[in-house]
Structures are given as C-alpha cells and as structure tokens.
Structure 1
C-alpha cells in the first residue's frame, strides 16, 4: 500500500489567517477571564474541556513495529511514564445531565527525547496527545473557529431549547450570515457538530478516542486514536440519577481493576479522500487501516480524592507539546497551537498557579 509522503503536502495559506487567529486568541482569553464569575467556583475554567473527571497514572509501551509505522516516537521499543486526564468537552461546570457526552482523553508522556515544538518550553521532556470520543471535528479554519467558538459556548442549551435550536443551526451553517449561498455553507462542519449529540453516555474507560486532526508521522501523515482492550464492569453512566456519573463510574472502575488501550495510527493514502484541512470528514478505513503502535496501561489505582481533581485541573495538555516528527498539520491544528498556549497562560495567571511542566507522574499523583 502506498502512503502519502509528508513532504508532498502543502499547507493552505489564507491572507486573513493571522488577523483571524489574533481575534480567536483575544476571544478565548476574554472568555477565560469571564469564567471566574460565570462558572461561580472562584477560579478560571477552560473554555473547552472545563469539567475534569480524573487523572490516572499510566505507562505507554512501544514495541517492535514494522515499517512504515516505525517512525518518530514509535521508531524503536521504549517505555514511558505517563498520566491520562479525562474531561468533558464543554466549557461548563455543571451536573453531567446538563452537559453532553463528548469527552476527552488527554495523554502526557514523560522523559521523551527531543525538542518540544512549544517555543517557551523546548526542553520539558513531555509529549502530549489530545483525543476525544468522536471521529470528526466541527471547525477547519481560524475564521470558522472565530464564529463557532461563540456558538459553542451556548451548548448544550441551544440544541435542547426548541426556541433556539433552529436559529442556532442556521447561524452555524452560514457563519452567522457571512456565507451567502448553500454551496458555501458549513455542511460538513454542521454534520460533524451534530454527530457529537449521538455519542452514548458510557464509562470513560470504554470509549475509543480520536485525534480528529492530522499529524506529521515521520515521512508520512497520520491520525491517532486509542482503543480500549479491557472490559469494564461499570459500563452504564446514568446522568439522570447521578450528576457526577462520569466521575463516579471512572473512580469505581479505576479502583477495581487494571485497564489498557491500544494506541493506533492511520496513515494517509489519498489527500483527496483523506483531507488534512477538513477535519469534518472521516478518513475511510478501506483506504488505510488502523495499526497499533503502542499500548497504554492504566494500573488499578485510587483517584477518588479531591487532590486528584486538583492535579487533573492543573495539568495542561496540548497537541503542540510534541516533536518535529509528529508536528500537527492543517489550519485548525495551527489555530490550536496559540489558542491552547495562551489559554493555559491566562488560566494559570488568574488562578495563581505556577505554569511549569511536571517531570513525572509521581510529581502529580504521588
């Protein structure tokens, strides 16, 4: 099977990109500041993935991998100390019944050689993966994000309110009237957004989590996902009877037994049918299969204390805390670089927290 070479991909360059990115960063910083009062907990809260469910100690093991999958971090066998952070995708601190089921799995590995792509921490030695329990994303350009970020802040309320639902989807589809014809409307993005409403509520350890955006993968281009390989006893999450059902089922499952995920990559085989710059389109598996490149082991552990939530909330995870061989690509990935960094800086400033990468899981979890 022939895979696309990274050096044949040409990033899209739009003349208004930097101005749009500056506006997105300004908006996210403002919403972060406003969250201190809006969320009512006396501290700044993330504008996305605001509610934390727990932080778990983990080990990431890379085995013998055949070419062309033996690239970058996965070029040779190694074992890395790590932590995994679980969170809700929305930027609210509410009962789970008032949030959606879109949830994130953030992975932070320690002791990874090489220079980080984050300019303000080149020697930190950490390597992050940001994943979510859906296959597609709903914004592809800085301009999309600039408009959609405000609409995103209304979720899930806008979609469950009959008086607002139709107008909200109309504003989303037309970028609040800036797209004149149906040919320009954000159909892929709207369908991607609505697909999040179809995610079932299940134990956080039972989901498959996806990068949605693409990355350089050494000589090639890839997406990344994690697939659970261990069963869970507490599968159902009943948010009607328990406002903290995601957290409580995660705590119970973590304390009961070991768990594991396979870390898999899908190499790009066709830029037209597997687009890099449209994260709202799923890459077909018949063009390129998912291949396991590492295993993530989560040993049985107690994460039930408030100190665990504090550690999890203070853990910053960004797709740009990576290495050159795994550079995020596509416009929305470039947007994430500065948005995530500035959001983290502002949140830590407002909360009086020191912004410095930990050196290992014991520093966070003891």
Structure 2
C-alpha cells in the first residue's frame, strides 16, 4: 500500500492566542450581519459570505461499498444511501446581480442521518453531516490571525471594486499592509495572489464547476482534501454550458433551475490523500495540492434528481437552512489554523441570522422536514 501522511494534532499549528482572534472574528460577523439588510438592500438578514443563494435542491448521496482501507475512514467506512440537500450560491458577502458579484461559487452539501457525535457547538446530537465547498482549489487566507484583517476587507470588496482601478489599488495596498498595521509581507502577498485566481473562474453553468474544500480535513487516520466533480454524463446533459452574466440579474440561478428541470444530474465526491507535507501543506491554503502526486479518488456518488424548482430557487427554505463544515464527526473534521477558526464562525453567523430573522435554528432529520417552511417557525 502507498504511504500516506498520518494525522496528528501537532500538524495543525494552532497558536497560543488563537481564542483572541476567534473572539474578534465572531464579533465582526455579528456586527456585519446586523447591517446586511441595508448593505444588500434585502428584506432579511443574510449570511456574511455566500449571501446570495441561487437554489437549494433535493439530492441523494451513496457512500460506496468495498472502498480500500485508506479511503474507508470516518463517515466513508459505512456504505449506504442517504437523503441529501445541496445549496448553490455566489461567494460574495452581498446580494448583488451576478455581473457585480464575480464567479466564485459555493456547493454546500447536507447529508442526512449520519451517525456519530458532531463537532459543531451545541449540535453534538445533530443527525447530519455538512460540506462547504468552493469552485477554486485554493483559498485566500492561511490563518486566523490574517483572517481578522482579511475578513474586514473582504466584506467591503464590492465598495472598493465599484471605484475601478483606484479602488482596486487601495484594496491591494490595505491587504498587503494588513489594514495599515504592518509592512508588506510575503504571506499577505501570497494570499492576495490566491484571491486573484478567483478572477479567472469562467462563467459557466454552476453544475459544471469542480468544488473543493477550502483547506485540509482529517480523514480518519490520514489527511485529505475533498472535491465534488460533475460526471461526464452530467457535463454532456447540460444544454447551456456558458452563462452570460450580463443577460439578467441572476442568470446563474436561471441556468440551475432550467437544467435540473430537464435531467437527473450526477456528481462524484472525492478524496485526495496527503503524501507529502511540503508539497501538500495543511496550513498553506494558497497552495494547490498536486494531483500527480496524489490523485482524487471517488468515495461517494451524488445524485440531484430532476425536479421543478420555483423561480426564487426555494428561497425561504434556503435561507432557513444552515450548513457548517464542523457539523461532522471528529474523524472527518476540517483541520489547521484557519480551518479551526470556522468552527465557531459558522455557528455565530447562522445563530445571528436566525435570531434576527425570527426563525428557529434547528436541523431537519430528512428532506421532508428540510423543505417544510413550518419547520423553521418559532
């Protein structure tokens, strides 16, 4: 058997003052969400990232049988079929037309009825497991310390970019100087470089993207990254592959609703095991892991069956549901400095949003509960 790096907590490199950064990040999230109706001209309080949900869809996940030992870890050790839900979204922190939001998108997956104690605070008995994936193999922040200043800039990204070249220049200058608190440093420059890769994402139907975990995850005894990719069958089934982002306010949503009304679509959930910590680092999220060194391997199949979705993409259901990468078991938890900061950040965001919108924050046990608006009423 090939040699893979064994998981060890020491590899996560959590700093001593980590809790101070987390407190600041959570306070910033609460303050931002309070102001989202004004910032997004919305009737409700939105998420602080991926604010504009395109659609939430009913799905099914089948964890494969007879996986090799190194893949049959954690939730993948028990084969079987599960109900699931998928939320497709724009990565922006504001609800804006697609032409102003960029092409960064998210694929949030909720798998129902997965056994085991969950890590999300206060949700240890949750019946579900979530994945929060993005359509880019790298992320633009490596540590909780840097996220303190990066998140502030990210939340104002649209304000800077609306001012054209000068706004972009000011944004870059503030980024590399950590909001005027430091001399330009290599780490901040590297993170800014990773942010720029998001500008290269093409305008294609959301079902055609590959979606990646933002960083490394524990994979039982090992370390891995996660990816969801469309099957060849799905690629061939999509009738309008390119999206004209100037054609409507939210052409991505229109494309999603149109395609899923016509065909069942299938995807593969894949794992990339770490073989070399230098080439496949845990705490450098700006570095893409080499697929030549360690290819992605399929552990589960995702099916999004043909379904009729309303024009708003099931808006009310989508806003009431929450997805957090730490709604998972210890053996499959996100790992590393930045990843650990998400453990409380997602709960803070979801809790604040539900409280301000006067909705009940609770996990549905199945698709029937998930798609029932009455389930979320106080």
Same topology, TM > 0.5: yes
- Inter-partner Cα distance in structure 1 for 2:348 and 2:322: 11
Q: Could you say which residue in structure 2 is the equivalent of 1:90?
A: 92
SS at match of 2:68: coil
**Counterpart Cα distance in 1 of 2:81 and 2:24:** 41
Q: What do residues 254-295 of structure 1 show as CA deviations (whole Å, max 9, x unaligned)?
A: 101010110000001111211101111111112211100000
Structure 2 counterpart of 1:218: 220
Equivalent residue number for residue 41 of structure 1: 42
CA distance 1:174–1:14, shift in 2 (3 Å): same
Contact kept in structure 1, 2:121 and 2:347, CA below 8 Å? no
1:162 aligns to 2:165 (yes or no): yes
Flag structure 2 segments of 5+ consecutive residues without an equivalent.
373-378
Match of 2:346 among 314, 323, 340: 340
Partner Cα distance (2:138, 2:35) in 1: 29
Q: Match of 1:26?
A: 27
Pick closer, same or farther for the CA change 1:316–1:8 going to 2, 3 Å.
Answer: closer
State the Cα RMSD in Å: 1.5
Offset at 1:225? Answer: 0.5
Q: 1:298 aligns with which of 304, 317, 320?
A: 304
Q: Is the 8 A contact 2:129 2:327 kept in 1?
A: yes
Q: Does 1:259 align with 2:265?
A: yes
Distance 1:20 1:119 in 2: 18
Secondary structure of the structure 1 residue equivalent to 2:8? helix
Residue 157 of structure 2 aligns to a residue whose secondary structure is coil
- Give yes or no for contact 1:142–1:335 (8 Å, CA) kept in 2: yes
Q: Please state how far the C-alpha of 1:18 moved relative to its aligned partner.
A: 1.4
Give the C-alpha shift of residue 185 in structure 1.
4.3
Q: Is the 8 A contact 2:56 2:313 kept in 1?
A: no
Q: 329, 332, 335: which one pairs with 1:326?
A: 332
Moved over 3 A (4+): none
Q: How does 1:1-366 map to 2 (within 5 A)?
A: 1-7=2-8, 9-64=10-65, 65-159=67-161, 161-180=164-183, 182=185, 184-229=186-231, 230-231=234-235, 232-306=238-312, 308-365=314-371
C-alpha distance 236-157 of structure 1, shift in aligned 2 (>3 A): farther
Aligned residue pairs, count: 365
**Which deviates the most, 299-308 or 251-260?**
299-308
Which sits farther off after the overlay, 356-365 or 24-33?
Answer: 356-365
Aligned equivalents of 1:12, 1:77: Cα separation in 2: 33
User: Which is further off, 169-178 or 284-293?
Assistant: 169-178
TM-score, normalised via structure 2 length? 0.93
Inter-partner Cα distance in structure 1 for 2:260 and 2:302 = 14
Structure 1: any 5+ residue segments left out of the alignment? none
Q: Structure 2: how far apart are the matches of 1:181 and 1:98?
A: 29
